[in-house]
Amino acid sequence: MAGAGRAGPVRPRRAGGGTAAAPLASARRGQPVRPGEPAWTPLEALPLADERPELRPALDEGASQFDGPLPPLPAAPGEPLLRSVFPVGLGGRRRGVLELVAERPLDAEARRFVAGVLQIYRNQLSVLDYGERDTLTGLLNRKTFDEAFGKCLLEIGPIASAPVDPGERRSPFADRASWLGVIDIDHFKRINDGHGHLMGDEVLLLVAGLLRAAFRHGDQLYRFGGEEFVVLLHADARERAALAFERFREALEAHPFPQVGQVTASAGFTRVRAFDTANAAFDRADRAVYQAKQSGRNRVCCHDALNRAGVLEDGERSGEIELF
């Protein structure tokens, strides 16, 4: 676009008591597109949206577009002078902005061009969401799980563990562990039977919202069907992964559900191993859920810890008792 010096999408992310501005990508004139922060970048490492006042109208007010001068910033020679911000609806509660930095205000033709590109982008997202997201909760669905699990294996498998040439660029997660967790709402059948399926759906929606709030912006959240949810996350140690699941469990236990009252969930998780399969990892986490329910529900169990303690083994789960 004539006069445009830099462009890139930005998404808001919850960060403690504020909102972080997460750049997804950045393109400068005459240079290739540079991806933004990795999915698991600590939110505290990102600038707060409150420090970017020119983003607020597009993020909060939903205006069709907003132009404003750049705040005082150190500028390199030839740095453009004006920033234009366009809101980008990403479906449901997902929002973002397209930020264009240019030498002069965008004229009407340029605005129409940007609006047309954004509409194409929204249409593509809608098609992707239809196939990749659960229609009720908006979380990822089971169809997308195998591909995401394969990416986890690439980070911990033979490629990541093989000797690395000093000049070779490594994955930022090559030395970090991936964890798979299964979360199952306790006594969900009683909720459906006692309050109806519409109230059951409302509970699932609220649980999905609590999942989003409890886990980090890069942790991948899935609904596998019914009352079963799956989480893929990165953590340096088992204790850190356990804290994430405990944070959700405590938030769920403390949340008042209209008409239903208290709702709890049992969770089980396991470390993703090199040469793992999605089914094997899921089965280990699911057996940890089984143990959590058998030992009283409303708790988090780690399969790896249970295995070392001799409570569970890597073999098939025995017994046909249903504890739902």
The pTM assigned to this predicted structure is 0.64
DSSP-assigned letters across all residues of 53-101: GGGHIIIII--S-EEEEPPS----TT---EEEEEEEE-STT-EEEEEEE
The continuous run of DSSP H or E covering 8 comes out as: strand 4-15
Residue 55: CB atoms within 10 Å: 23
User: Which is the CATH superfamily of the domain at 142-163+170-308?
Assistant: Reverse transcriptase/Diguanylate cyclase domain (3.30.70.270)
Q: Is 64 left (phi over 0), alpha (psi -120 to 50) or beta?
A: alpha
Q: What is the pLDDT of residue 134?
A: 85
Contact 21, 58 (CB under 8 A): no
Where do runs of H (alpha helix) occur along 139-255?
A: 145-156, 158-161, 188-195, 197-214, 238-254
List the catalytic residue out of 132, 227, 239, 250: 227
Query: pLDDT-derived band of residue 118, with 50, 70 and 90 as boundaries?
Result: confident
Whether the pLDDT of residue 315 is over 80: the answer is: no
Is the domain 4-128 a CATH 3.30.450 member? Answer: yes
Looking at residues 26-35, what average pLDDT do you find?
A: 57
- Spatial neighbors of 277 by CB under 8 A, at least 6 apart, are none
Contact 180, 269 (CB under 8 A): yes
Q: What is the pLDDT of residue 153?
A: 82
Q: To the nearest whole percent, how much of the chain has pLDDT over 90? A: 37
CA dist., res. 269 & res. 178, Å (int): 10
Asked which of 10-14, 185-189, 287-291 is least confident by mean pLDDT, the reply is 10-14
Output DSSP code: residue 255: P
Q: What is the pLDDT of residue 32?
A: 60
Structural domain boundaries in the chain: 4-128, 142-163+170-308
Whether the pLDDT of residue 233 is over 60: the answer is: yes
Q: To the nearest whole percent, how much of the chain has pLDDT over 70? A: 59
Indicate if 227 belongs to the active site.
yes
Asked which of 28-32, 150-154, 213-217 is least confident by mean pLDDT, the reply is 28-32
